[in-house]
Structure 1
Amino acid sequence: AWLIARQRSRVAGEIYAHLGGSSPLLANTEAQAGALEAALGLEYRCFIAMRYWHPLTAEAVAAVKAWRPEEIVLLPLYPQFSTTTAGSSLAAWHAEAQRQGLACPTCEAPPYPTEPGFIAALAGHIDELLADVARPSRLLLSAHGLPLKIVRKGDPYPEQIESTAAAVIDALEHRPADWQVCYQSRVGPLAWLGPSVDEEIRRAGQDGVGIVIAPISFVSEHSETLVELDRDYRRLAESCGVPFYWRAPTVGTDPRFIAGLARLVRRETEAQLAERPREAAASP
């Protein structure tokens, strides 16, 4: 564990140096929160809770408590559910809310692997690249990896990734005949979901086809897109003789994606309102 931590620390330092000293994740998430607030209207306020950087969950709970909302909707920025991402983030919120005494009706937005706005934004960015492809190519739909030992415990993540991929392919105007789901960001010696992006890049080189790659589990730009996809995998593609390597952007603040998030939030708040009369009627 010490050796892995030391290696990760060294790699992380190099990554952030490449990014100019810090990750753009917070700034990009703030932009998404601002866009979502604008889409929802004045009755809503969006707070950011991050797991590994400020504002941490404890800070977000304190800020929400001070604002005194009537109800809370928890919206993970993970379209596909995994116990390691959305699940752990939601658990951290509930534990911290209980610790700080935040007593407020709270609900969780469901996973949204095929939400129409999310899919439309993804497909739109991919179509812009596919429209310019004039040579043989393969579309790679890349998602963050997950150890197989977690999948074997029943984690629904890979099935939801596959559902996102199928929905994206169906939504594309320039539908490719050659496409593949693959996984990135593997760390450590455990067996992970596959095929890996590395394997698919090498296969594309052997087949002599170009690559259009699109991240389908990340919703904003950060180290895994700006460094891993844009630099590391591009270098691998060049070394493997891949004719070209084009990367689609994340959905970010695309209005279609933001509108989809707003629909999810409104659906949850409307469901909470619908529950209140029944709760009142059931009270002694």
Structure 2
Amino acid sequence: MRQTKTGILLANLGTPDAPTSDAVKRYLRQFLSDPRVVDTPRLLWWPLLRGVILPLRAPRVAKLYQSVWMEGGSPLMVYSRQQQQALAQRLPQTPVALGMSYGSPSLESAVDELLAQNVDHIVVLPLYPQYSCSTVAAVWNELARILAHKRRIPGISFIRDYADDEGYIRALANSARAAFAAHGEPDLLLLSYHGIPQRYADEGDDYPQRCRDTTRELVSALGIAHDKVMMTFQSRFGREPWLTPYTDETLKMLAEKGVKHVQVMCPGFSADCLETLEEIAVQNREIFLEAGGQKYEYIPALNASADHIDMMVKLTAAVR
């Protein structure tokens, strides 16, 4: 019987190649041109994107990237590479490639890397714990485009999401417990997920439910009272309504109501990035403290922690 050689493709969103206005503009152009991300008709959207949004937004975002840039690249790139390397060490007989939906390394380069190692089955793990049409489906679309041009198509196992996976919940709970031990148990644990337009959910995206699933399982694993946990949504963009409650407005409200100590965790982010290290750890901290809060800690993403890599090993083993 012929033995199948399996490879693993870790997929994430992507990042600019440098913290410069030009690099950020290139990245945002590709990201915001994907109809899975922004579904406004192209004839309306592209002139606005290229003539107004990119020239105004790229310099501002570049400055934010400069504040968190690391040796080796953006935080997302550094931690994603660490995840790839750690998983490869755990699975020495299984090639592991990293690909991004936008920017480099591209998903196409990751597929080519695996095919060059003669794999005939690829396990695709998009590192978005909760499915959304704007993230996981974008990986699916790009993968289909890539394979449409290949003569030899490998078998594909596609992991849709892992919002309530036991290993993922265990890793989150252990991370929260470590923060409680280091800083004291907060008055409130805020779980901040990346937002999507409310319209996407109304049209069938089950992302909000998958966020609720993660929250429910994490609260159960921690054994804390439901009134000591809140779920919010961050990083909204544009003028149409997004999922609520909004993280920044909620933190301001909590401080004004007398909540003194909060810890914020972002369970929708598998690796720390601009949205966690700058938006949550810096901007939202300022909002909370300026409104009267006293203690604020951001609980880092799981990144390449042992618990997180254990989860990846078990999750991919189920379909290898």
Question: TM exceeds 0.5?
Answer: yes
Q: Deviations over 1:92-128 (max 9, x none)?
A: 0121122233411111123100111111111111122
| Residue number in structure 2 paired with 1:264 | 315
Residue 7, structure 1, aligned to residue 56, structure 2: yes
Aligned CA distance change for structure 1 residues 135 and 72 (closer, same or farther; 3 Å): closer
Q: What's the secondary structure of 1:259's corresponding residue? A: helix
| Residue number in structure 1 paired with 2:148 | 98
> Contact between 1:142 and 1:197, CA under 8 Å: does it hold in 2?
yes
Residue 123, structure 1, aligned to residue 173, structure 2: yes
For residues 56-205 of structure 1, the aligned pairs below 5 Å read: 56-131=106-181, 137-172=187-222, 177-205=227-255
Residue 251, structure 1, aligned to residue 319, structure 2: no
> Contact between 1:127 and 1:173, CA under 8 Å: does it hold in 2?
no
CA distance in 2, matches of 1:18, 1:133: 25
The Cα shift of 1:72 comes to 0.8
The root-mean-square deviation of aligned C-alpha atoms, in Å, is: 1.8
Q: What's the secondary structure of 1:49's corresponding residue? A: strand
**Residue identity opposite 2:273 in structure 1:** H
CA distance in 2, matches of 1:228, 1:237: 12
Aligned CA distance change for structure 1 residues 245 and 30 (closer, same or farther; 3 Å): same
Aligned CA distance change for structure 1 residues 249 and 134 (closer, same or farther; 3 Å): closer
Q: Structure 1 vs Structure 2: percent identity of aligned residues?
A: 26
Q: What's the secondary structure of 2:167's corresponding residue? A: helix
Residue 29, structure 1, aligned to residue 80, structure 2: yes
Q: What's the secondary structure of 1:52's corresponding residue? A: strand
Q: Greater helix share, 1 or 2?
A: 1
> Contact between 2:271 and 2:303, CA under 8 Å: does it hold in 1?
yes
The Cα shift of 1:174 comes to 5.2
Q: What's the secondary structure of 2:192's corresponding residue? A: strand
**Residue identity opposite 1:15 in structure 2:** L
Q: What's the secondary structure of 1:241's corresponding residue? A: coil
The Cα shift of 1:151 comes to 0.8
Residue ranges of structure 2 left out of the alignment (5+ in a row): 1-47
Bigger drift between 178-187 and 62-71 goes to 62-71
Aligned CA distance change for structure 1 residues 134 and 88 (closer, same or farther; 3 Å): closer
The Cα shift of 1:10 comes to 2.4
**Residue identity opposite 1:163 in structure 2:** D
The Cα shift of 1:11 comes to 2.3
Q: What's the secondary structure of 2:233's corresponding residue? A: strand
> Contact between 2:98 and 2:110, CA under 8 Å: does it hold in 1?
yes
CA distance in 1, matches of 2:151, 2:239: 41
**Residue identity opposite 2:136 in structure 1:** A
CA distance in 2, matches of 1:45, 1:175: 43
Q: What's the secondary structure of 1:217's corresponding residue? A: coil
Q: What's the secondary structure of 2:103's corresponding residue? A: coil
CA distance in 2, matches of 1:42, 1:212: 37
Q: What's the secondary structure of 1:192's corresponding residue? A: coil
Q: Greater strand share, 1 or 2?
A: 2
**Residue identity opposite 1:8 in structure 2:** R
CA distance in 2, matches of 1:69, 1:63: 10
Match of 2:289 among 238, 252, 256: 238
Match of 2:67 among 10, 18, 37: 18
CA distance in 1, matches of 2:120, 2:185: 55
**Residue identity opposite 1:242 in structure 2:** G
For residues 49-60 of structure 1, the aligned pairs below 5 Å read: 49-60=99-110
Residue 221, structure 1, aligned to residue 305, structure 2: no
- TM-score, normalising length: structure 1: 0.89
Q: What's the secondary structure of 1:160's corresponding residue? A: helix
Length, aligned pairs only: 268
